[in-house]
């Protein structure tokens, strides 16, 4: 055996910071460049596994590479015994290295009680090649003197970062694409609905096939951590804080894929009808209109959740998916379901784009009704409002859609409604004044087909008779189901016409446990938002007991919790109450109340700037989240805009 050591993985290995473990490779004390990690390095001792030079197996390629580059250090010593994280380096790398190399000695093997068990062998073996490649990339490309990984992650765009023109030129030349990789007109990809963050990418991929996406990701992955390039999928850019952006990276325009791939309907003879749809497609063009079938939620929002007034019955959109096709962070195209590659399947759903780019999904369909009775009633009393909402979502024979919103100091409210809703008692309604009050509107809908109109009316009457709203405020409208589904889009068009769509949207979405909703309302509607709001405030409960909780989505602990969405728009030139600064400071006050009053809320469409906050957000799900990141996107190439993990570029 030859003296020396190539690599020691210490306790940070594969720790909470994605791949930063690789930065903790302690390399030989004989090489000054690696001096920094000397403490982590224990040649021939400690916990190391030692790798002997071998020549005859396929994997000897790695050994040769290592030996070629570090000729005086011909074996690997890997150590890590901290039981801190559930997928420690020792079991993982031990198995990987064992699979690939022969060992000559070990002074101390990791033991079961010191290190939690490794991920299932099948997963490990799948990644054996990957780890070998990463090791090569790291060893060939490293400069350990410039280890920049930080625990909180510095996500701000560095002014010294130069566009990767050369790399992009190479990509354009080497990738055989069905679609286009463009370096012009990049501004669209640096924009989102939030209108607050704008990070220019170096290129935008307009894919026409899944292989376009997998080739790109695989190419960037093969470049290893010597490249800064990251990749972000962009659906419709409805993000609020740059989550679909990639500073000097490549944005994948999923709409381009959606347009080039057909939706396929699987209805006849299926026990669970579904639509096989490409990412980037929009439901408005889809099933409701074409086949008399409807997905249970309006939009494809599989990286988040997709919560709406039907979620109390069907769960969020992510619970209505049977199968996904995903391009992982290594460029592999994987089909996954609840049974097949289920770890990836559940990880990707609600996974904030961290584990792969979804390219296709099978989404459940159900028979679409033709018509909708759409109803609004008002409450002055918050307790009566929430009691009724909770009763409605817990009953099996209830309305088909239950939402609600808060109205603060609105003038002429009922008059406005009259343009699209019919008032049950116009005389009473005309005596109702909304000014100066905080009101709570229950918004409910019952679906029906034309022949059922009469029985539907009777059912609605029965259901309404059990509610405690202010009787003079009953408003009903009858619309087609398509119109009902399209209502958000209609509002969008109206806002666009008025030039109010492209303003900053400092939205804040919270999930508040049922037991805390009154405290929350007292503080927020009683103290913070007292005289006005700068947009709709949605508030409605959902029942998690009907949801699949294996996904990555994070919710409060209680079964019933409220979605409270402050959907504010800010006026760019304003310095008043509708200015961005004012709304952001209100949002902060709301978040502070949640914290100080210990309301145990969770953010929906979360946004944090430090990893500690993400850790807190995920709570007990954090370990699984990090493990999945390591498994499916080991170089943290994907979706940098979420600011959870930072690409391991310390070797540059």
Q: Is 67 in the site for ligand FAD (CB under 6 A)?
A: no
Q: Residue 602 carries which DSSP code?
A: E
> Interface with ligand FAD includes 243 (CB under 6 A)?
yes
375: Cβ contacts below 8 Å, ≥ 6 apart: 399, 442, 443, 444, 445, 446, 460, 464, 474, 475, 476, 477
Site membership for ligand FAD, residue 238 (CB under 6 A): yes
Q: How far apart are CA 221 and CA 130, in angstroms?
A: 10
Report if residue 349 touches ligand FAD, rule: CB under 6 A: no
- State the CB neighbour count (10 A cutoff) for residue 483: 14
Report residue 648: phi and psi, to 5°.
-75, 95
The nearest distance, CB 85 to ligand FAD, in angstroms, is 25
Nearest 5 degrees, angle CA 508-CA 510-CA 310? 110
CB of 352 to ligand FAD, least distance (A): 6
As a dihedral over the C-alpha atoms of residue 487, residue 491, residue 492, residue 498, rounded to 10 degrees, the angle is 160
How many residues belong to the site for ligand FAD (CB under 6 A)?
32
CB of 246 vs ligand FAD, minimal distance in Å: 8
73 binds ligand FAD (CB under 6 A): no
Q: What is the distance between the alpha carbons of residues 162 and 395, in angstroms, rounded to a whole number?
A: 58
Cα–Cα separations (whole angstroms), residue 489 to 264, 493, 494, 501, 569: 24, 6, 9, 12, 16
Residue with smaller CB distance to ligand FAD, 115 or 361: 361
Q: How far is the CB of 536 from ligand FAD (least distance, A)?
A: 10
Element (H, E) at 330: none
Work out whether 305 is an interface residue with ligand FAD (CB under 6 A).
yes
- DSSP result, 58-125: TTHHHHHHHHHHSTT----EE-----SSTT-HHHHHHHHHHHH--EEEES----TTTSPPPSPHHHHH
Distance separating alpha carbons of residues 489 and 565, to the nearest angstrom = 18
Least Å distance, CB 489 to ligand FAD, is 8
| Per CB under 6 A, 472 contacts ligand FAD | no
Binding mask 306-335 for ligand FAD (x = CB under 6 A): xxx---------------------------
Is residue 237 close enough to count as binding ligand FAD by CB under 6 A? yes
Applying CB under 6 A, the span of 18-26, 269-277, 283-291, 302-310 interacting with ligand FAD comes to 302-310
Q: Residues 604, 305: contact at Cβ < 8 Å?
A: yes
With CB under 6 A as the contact rule, the residue among 36, 182, 208, 236 that binds ligand FAD is: 236
Q: Binding to ligand FAD by residue 552, rule CB under 6 A?
A: no
**C-beta of 12: minimal distance to ligand FAD in Å?**
27
Of the candidates 399, 420, 398, the residue with the CA atom closest to the CA atom of residue 476: 420
Min CB(304)–ligand FAD separation in Å: 5
Per CB under 6 A, the segment of 23-31, 59-67, 177-185, 238-246 that binds ligand FAD is 238-246
Cα 593 to Cα 91, 377, 619, distances in angstroms: 43, 29, 20
Residue 435 makes CB contacts below 8 A (sequence gap 6+) with 409, 410, 411
What residues between 16 and 45 interact with ligand FAD by CB under 6 A?
A: none
Q: What is the DSSP string of 199-260?
A: ---SEEEE-SSHHHHHHHHHHHHHHGGG----EEEESS---SSSTT--TTSEEEEHHHHHHH
Contact letters for ligand FAD, residues 473-502 (x by CB under 6 A):
---------------x---x----------
> Shortest gap between Cβ of 552 and ligand FAD (angstroms)?
12
Residue span binding ligand FAD (CB under 6 A) among the ranges 41-49, 195-203, 228-236, 586-594: 228-236
Strand order in the sheet with 537-543: 422-423, 475-480, 371-379, 438-448, 401-408, 537-543, 560-566, 508-513, 602-603
Of 25-33, 115-123, 165-173, 351-359, which part binds ligand FAD (CB under 6 A)?
Answer: 351-359
What is the closest distance, in whole angstroms, from the C-beta atom of residue 462 to ligand FAD in the complex? 28
Told to check if 303 binds ligand FAD by CB under 6 A, we report yes
Binding-site string for ligand FAD from residue 583 to residue 612, where x marks contact by CB under 6 A and - marks none: ----------------------x-------
Let me know how long the chain is: 652
Q: Which residue from 651, 37, 91 is spatially nearest to 6, judged by alpha carbons?
A: 37
Q: How far is the CB of 565 from ligand FAD (least distance, A)?
A: 8
Position 235 contacts ligand FAD (CB under 6 A)? yes
CB of 567 to ligand FAD, least distance (A): 8
Q: Which of 614, 539, 563, 119 is nearest to 352 (CA)?
A: 614
x-or-dash string of contact with ligand FAD, 260-299, rule CB under 6 A: -------------------x-------------------x
Where does this chain bind ligand FAD (CB under 6 A)? 192-193, 232-239, 243-244, 254, 279, 299, 301, 303-308, 352-353, 357-358, 488, 492, 605, 639, 641-642
């Amino acid at each position: 055996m030859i003296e020396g050591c190539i690599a020691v993985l210490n306790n940070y290995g594969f720790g909470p910071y994605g791949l930063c473990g690789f930065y903790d490779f302690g390399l030989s004390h004989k090489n000054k460049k690696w001096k920094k990690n000397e403490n982590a390095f224990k040649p021939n001792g400690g916990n190391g596994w030692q790798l002997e030079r071998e020549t005859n197996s396929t994997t000897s390629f790695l050994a040769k590479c290592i030996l070629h580059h570090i000729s005086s250090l011909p074996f690997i010593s890997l150590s890590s015994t901290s039981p801190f994280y559930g997928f420690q380096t020792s079991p993982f790398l031990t198995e990987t290295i064992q699979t690939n190399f022969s060992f000559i000695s070990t002074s101390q093997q990791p033991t079961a009680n010191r290190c939690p068990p490794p991920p299932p062998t099948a997963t490990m073996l799948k990644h054996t090649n990957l780890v070998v490649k990463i090791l090569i990339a790291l060893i060939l490309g490293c400069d350990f003197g410039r280890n920049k990984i930080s625990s909180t992650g510095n996500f701000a765009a560095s002014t010294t970062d130069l566009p990767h023109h050369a790399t992009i030129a190479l990509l354009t030349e080497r990738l055989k694409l069905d679609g286009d990789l463009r370096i012009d007109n990049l501004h669209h990809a640096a924009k989102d609905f939030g209108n607050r963050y704008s990070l220019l990418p170096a290129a935008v991929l307009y894919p026409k096939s899944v292989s376009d996406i997998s080739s790109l990701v695989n190419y960037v992955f093969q470049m290893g951590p010597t490249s800064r390039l990251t990749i972000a999928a962009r659906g419709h850019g409805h993000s609020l804080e740059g989550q679909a952006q990639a500073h000097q990276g490549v944005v994948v325009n999923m709409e381009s894929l959606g347009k080039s791939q057909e939706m396929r309907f699987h209805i006849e003879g299926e026990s669970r009808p579904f639509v096989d749809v490409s990412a980037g497609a929009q439901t408005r063009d889809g099933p409701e209109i074409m086949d008399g079938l409807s997905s249970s939620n309006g939009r494809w929002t599989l990286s988040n959740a997709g919560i709406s007034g039907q979620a109390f019955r069907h769960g969020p959109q992510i619970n209505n998916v049977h199968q996904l096709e995903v391009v992982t962070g290594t460029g592999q195209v994987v089909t996954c379901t609840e049974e097949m590659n289920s770890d990836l399947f559940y990880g990707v759903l609600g996974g904030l784009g961290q584990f792969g780019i979804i390219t296709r999904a099978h989404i459940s369909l159900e028979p679409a009704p033709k018509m909708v009775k759409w109803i609004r009633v008002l409450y002055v009393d918050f307790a009566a409002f929430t009691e009724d909402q909770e009763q409605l979502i817990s009953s099996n024979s209830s309305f088909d859609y239950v939402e609600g919103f808060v109205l603060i100091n609105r003038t002429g409210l009922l008059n406005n409604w009259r343009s699209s809703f019919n008032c049950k008692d116009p005389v009473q309604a005309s005596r109702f004044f909304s000014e100066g009050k905080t009101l709570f509107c229950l918004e409910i809908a019952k679906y029906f087909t034309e022949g059922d109109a009469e029985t539907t009316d009777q059912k609605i009457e029965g259901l309404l008779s059990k509610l405690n709203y202010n009787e003079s405020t009953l408003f009903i409208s009858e619309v087609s189901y398509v119109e009902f589904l399209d209502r958000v889009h209609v509002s969008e068009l109206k806002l666009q016409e008025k030039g109010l769509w492209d303003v900053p949207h400092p939205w804040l979405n919270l999930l508040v446990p049922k037991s805390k909703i009154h405290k929350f309302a007292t503080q927020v509607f009683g103290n913070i938002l007292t005289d006005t709001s700068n947009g709709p405030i949605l508030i409605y409960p959902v029942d998690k007991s009907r949801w699949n909780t294996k996904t990555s989505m994070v919710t409060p602990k209680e079964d019933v919790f409220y979605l409270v969405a402050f959907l504010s728009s800010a006026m760019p030139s304003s310095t008043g109450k509708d200015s961005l600064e004012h709304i952001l400071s209100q949002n902060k006050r709301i978040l502070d109340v949640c914290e100080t009053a210990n309301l145990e809320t969770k953010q929906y469409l979360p946004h944090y700037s430090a990893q500690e906050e993400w850790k807190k957000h995920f709570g007990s799900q954090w370990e699984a989240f990090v493990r999945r990141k390591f498994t499916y996107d080991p170089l943290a190439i994907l979706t940098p805009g979420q600011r959870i993990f930072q690409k391991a570029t310390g070797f540059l």
